[in-house]
Chain A
Amino acid sequence: ETGVTQSPTHLIKTRGQQVTLRCSSQSGHNTVSWYQQALGQGPQFIFQYYREEENGRGNFPPRFSGLQFPNYSSELNVNALELDDSALYLCASSWGLAGGPSYEQYFGPGTRLTVT
Chain B
Amino acid sequence: AQKVTQAQTEISVVEKEDVTLDCVYETRDTTYYLFWYKQPPSGELVFLIRRNSFDEQNEISGRYSWNFQKSTSSFNFTITASQVVDSAVYFCALSGNYGQNFVFGPGTRLSVLP
Contacts and interface: CB of A to CB of B under 8 A. Distances in A.
Nearest to B9: A40
Interface range on chain A (Cβ under 8 Å from partner): 20 to 34
B44 A109 contact: yes
B106 A42 contact: yes
Interface stretch (A13-21, A60-68, A99-107): A99-107
A107 B97 contact: no
A42 B50 contact: no
Interface of A: 31, 33, 35, 41-45, 48, 50, 55-58, 88, 90, 92, 94, 96, 98-110
A103 B99 contact: yes
Contact of B50 (A41, A43, A57, A104): A104
25 contacts: A35-B104, A41-B106, A41-B107, A42-B93, A42-B104, A42-B107, A43-B45, A43-B104, A44-B104, A48-B100, A50-B99, A55-B99, A55-B100, A56-B98, A56-B100, A98-B98, A102-B33, A102-B97, A103-B99, A104-B50, A106-B47, A108-B44, A109-B42, A110-B43, A110-B44
A92 to B, nearest CB: 8
